[in-house]
């Protein structure tokens, strides 16, 4: 499974559960429409809002031994500081834990 496959799997499951979820392509592709614009460095792969309370979430998706970049960690730490649900997921189950508020960027820091 590729990282993109896992992102789609998570997005589809979250939508199936009734959450708003959007997938972001934050790569370095530049076109005449995006030059000089775009997302902040480190913006996570998935974001959205929970169906029951509208609480916003950010999910950075990784596979295998992939690790978040410093920019991704800083972004999620800022989300944590602002009480936004956030975290890094290597599986569908971990992504669901993030949206449920049971997993955050702090879990990554504690496992270092």
Q: What pLDDT does residue 36 have?
A: 54
pLDDT reading at 35 higher than 80:
no
Which residues sit opposite 56 in a β-bridge? Answer: 49
* Domain covering 3-24+41-110: architecture: 3-Layer(aba) Sandwich (3.40)
Dig out the tokens for 74 from the structure: 């800083």
**What secondary structure does DSSP assign to the chain, as a single string?**
--HHHHHHHHHHHHHHTT-EEEE---SS---TTTTT--PPTT--SEEEE-TTT--EEEEEE--TT----HHHHHHHHHHHHTT-EEEEESSHHHHHHHHTTS--HHHHHHT-
Domain boundaries, the chain: 3-24+41-110
pLDDT at 25: 77
Q: How confident is the model at residue 108 (pLDDT cuts 50, 70, 90)?
A: confident
**Per-residue pLDDT averaged across 13-20, rounded?**
98
**How confident is the prediction for the chain on average, in pLDDT?**
91
- Tell me the mean pLDDT in the region 39-50: 94
Q: pTM of the prediction?
A: 0.89
- pLDDT of 29 over the 90 cut: no
Distance CA 83, CA 24 (A): 21
Q: Helices 92-99 and 3-16 sit at what angle, rounded to 10 degrees? A: 50
């Amino acid at each position: 499974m590729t990282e993109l496959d896992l992102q789609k799997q998570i997005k589809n499951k979250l939508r199936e559960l009734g959450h708003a979820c959007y997938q972001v392509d934050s790569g370095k592709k530049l076109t005449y429409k995006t030059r000089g614009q775009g997302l902040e460095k480190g913006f996570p792969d998935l974001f959205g809002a929970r169906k029951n309370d509208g609480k916003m979430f950010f999910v950075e998706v990784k596979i295998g031994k992939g690790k978040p970049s410093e920019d991704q960690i800083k972004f999620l730490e800022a989300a944590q500081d602002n009480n936004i649900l956030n975290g890094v997921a290597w599986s569908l189950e971990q992504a669901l834990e993030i949206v449920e508020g049971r997993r955050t960027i702090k879990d990554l820091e504690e496992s270092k």
